[in-house]
Every structure is written in structure tokens, then in C-alpha cells.
């Protein structure tokens, strides 16, 4: 079973103390106005990051403490997805940030500006940029953790399901474990069509009773599969996004943010 291991985090305040961190803070301000979080799938490949002063988003990331790809290596983007933040806004974060409302001095961070894009590479790392919350920037590694994670997750205790990955949480897991999950809703699509062709009517409730639920549906509908909107992966695939902790479900805003998540590259 794949799990997330948190590799590095930076708060907005810590970002401002780094040489090029202010450019990430500018981008974070832009996300604040959108209410959006962004997740990049990353792979670490041989090469060298370019000068962060003139380079791409990932070249800036590579200059931050704890986010360096390592000697002789560079980050490449394997996928990008974006949607509404799942983090609740705290009182202090409801005021507009002091910085600009557009990222990187007004530059559009569209195609190409993120860094080299190699869709065929395996995604080993995930980079999340958040509009608010204690960690503005989170770098997670995807690791294969064997069976132990499953067993922990199946112990049911009252009021302790994760709003992100839907696992039942023990108090211990809720405190200590990072969460690997899909932020997007699931669509039921024909196996030979793409996720983007599915309509809202076909959207499937994203609350599985257990991890076995989705595969049962797959078996019954021979030419239809469940696919996550966030990344286009099948319903039983390991998560494409990570958070530093599981987030116990609280009443209210559980599902709304999921509808906006889409795959951008």
C-alpha cells in the first residue's frame, strides 16, 4: 500500500526568509484569491536546476531549504492538478494577504512556467502549494509501506473518519500519519473515453464504505470504470495528493471542495 512520507514543509513566514521564497509567497497570494490549492506530481531526474532568478517555478522550489532535488538532479513535473482548498480558513487567514493578487509579478504561470514536463515519468514526489494553513508548501514522498497501513485504517472508532482519504482513524493515526488521497470526485465513465467527457450527472458519490467498494462496481459494469477527476486514475489507485495529517470529518464543508478539482496537465 502506498503511503505519503512528508519530506519538507515551509510556512509562509519561513518562505519570506528565503532568498527566492517571496516569489512563492506571491503565488500563494494568487491562490488565496482563488481559494485554490495546487498539487504537482514530481519526479527526480539527472540534471541541474536553472538559476531561480530567471528559471521556472520548480527552479525556485529547488532553491528552498529542504526542497533541493539533490546534487546532480532536477525536478520534473509529471502532472498538475488544482482545485478548492480542503483546509478550513482560520480567522487570521480571512483577511486578504498584503501581497499582489497575481503570481510572480503578474506573469502567467501557465504551460511551461512550472518547469520541465514529462508525463511518462513515474511520480515519486508530490508538491502541494496551499493558499492558507500552517504549511504553505509541502513536499511528500510516495513510499510503499506494505500492509501495516491497511490494518491501522480498518479499526473503527467513533467520529474519526478522514475527510480526505475516508479511512477510519484511530487517535494515533490521526495525530501522526500523513494522508495520501484523491481530492477530486469520482466519475463513472466508459472505459474507452476520457474522464473529461463524463457529465455531472454521472458523478459518483465519493464516499466509499470501504476500499473494496469501488472494485465491486468495476466488476459489475463491464465497460465502465470509476475514474478520479483530479488525476484521471482508476478508482482503486493510490492517492495523487498528500496532506501532512489526516483531517477528521467535521460537519459542513465536507464535499463541496471536491467538485472543483481537475487535472491541468
Residues that bind Zn ion (CB under 5 A): 162, 164-165, 179, 182, 228, 230-231, 240, 246
Our CB check for Zn ion shows the closer of 10 and 39 to be: 39
When the beta carbons of 136 and 164 are compared against Zn ion, the nearer one is 164
CB of 27 to Zn ion, least distance (A): 22
- Pairing verdict, β 224-228 and 186-190: antiparallel
The CA angle 165-253-8, to the nearest 5 degrees, is: 50
Shortest reach from residue 246's CB to Zn ion, in Å = 4
Residue 211 CB, nearest distance to Zn ion (Å)? Answer: 13
Q: 3-class DSSP state for residue 9?
A: strand
Q: Which residue number, 41 or 97, has a Cβ lying nearer to Zn ion?
A: 41
Q: How far is the CB of 109 from Zn ion (least distance, A)?
A: 21
Pull the grid cell for residue 200. 455531472
CA distance 22 to 3: 31
Q: Which positions ≥6 away from 121 have C-beta within 8 Å? A: 43, 45, 76, 78
Answer whether 150's CB lies under 8 Å from 93's CB: no
At its nearest, how many Å lie between Zn ion and the CB of residue 9? 17
- Identity of the residue, 23 or 167, whose beta carbon is nearer to Zn ion in the bound complex: 167
Measured from the CB atom, the residue of 42 and 165 that comes closer to Zn ion is 165
Cell numbers that stand for 264 in this block: 491541468
Amino acid at each position: 500500500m502506498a503511503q505519503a512520507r512528508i519530506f519538507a514543509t515551509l510556512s509562509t513566514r519561513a518562505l519570506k526568509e528565503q532568498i527566492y521564497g517571496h516569489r512563492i509567497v506571491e503565488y500563494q497570494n494568487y491562490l488565496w484569491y482563488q481559494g485554490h490549492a495546487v498539487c504537482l506530481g514530481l519526479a527526480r531526474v539527472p540534471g541541474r536546476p536553472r538559476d531561480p532568478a530567471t528559471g521556472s517555478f520548480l527552479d525556485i522550489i529547488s532553491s528552498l531549504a529542504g526542497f533541493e532535488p539533490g546534487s546532480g538532479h532536477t525536478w520534473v513535473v509529471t502532472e498538475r492538478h488544482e482545485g478548492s482548498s480542503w483546509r478550513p480558513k482560520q480567522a487570521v487567514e480571512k483577511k486578504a494577504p498584503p501581497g499582489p493578487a497575481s503570481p510572480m509579478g503578474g506573469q502567467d504561470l501557465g504551460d511551461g512556467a512550472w518547469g520541465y514536463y514529462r508525463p511518462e515519468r513515474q511520480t515519486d514526489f508530490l508538491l502541494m502549494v496551499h493558499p492558507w494553513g500552517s504549511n504553505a508548501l509541502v513536499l511528500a514522498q510516495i513510499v510503499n509501506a506494505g500492509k501495516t497501513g491497511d490494518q491501522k485504517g480498518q479499526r473503527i472508532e467513533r467520529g474519526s473518519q478522514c475527510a480526505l482519504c475516508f479511512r477510519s482513524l484511530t487517535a494515533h493515526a490521526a495525530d501522526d500519519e500523513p494522508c495520501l488521497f484523491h481530492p477530486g470526485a469520482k466519475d463513472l465513465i466508459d472505459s474507452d473515453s476520457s474522464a473529461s467527457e463524463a457529465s455531472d450527472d454521472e458523478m459518483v458519490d465519493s464516499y466509499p464504505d470501504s476500499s473494496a467498494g469501488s472494485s465491486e462496481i468495476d466488476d459489475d459494469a463491464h465497460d465502465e470504470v470509476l475514474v478520479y477527476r483530479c488525476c484521471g486514475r482508476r478508482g482503486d489507485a493510490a492517492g495523487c495528493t498528500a496532506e501532512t495529517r489526516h483531517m477528521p470529518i467535521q460537519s459542513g464543508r465536507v464535499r463541496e471542495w471536491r467538485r472543483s478539482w481537475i487535472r491541468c496537465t
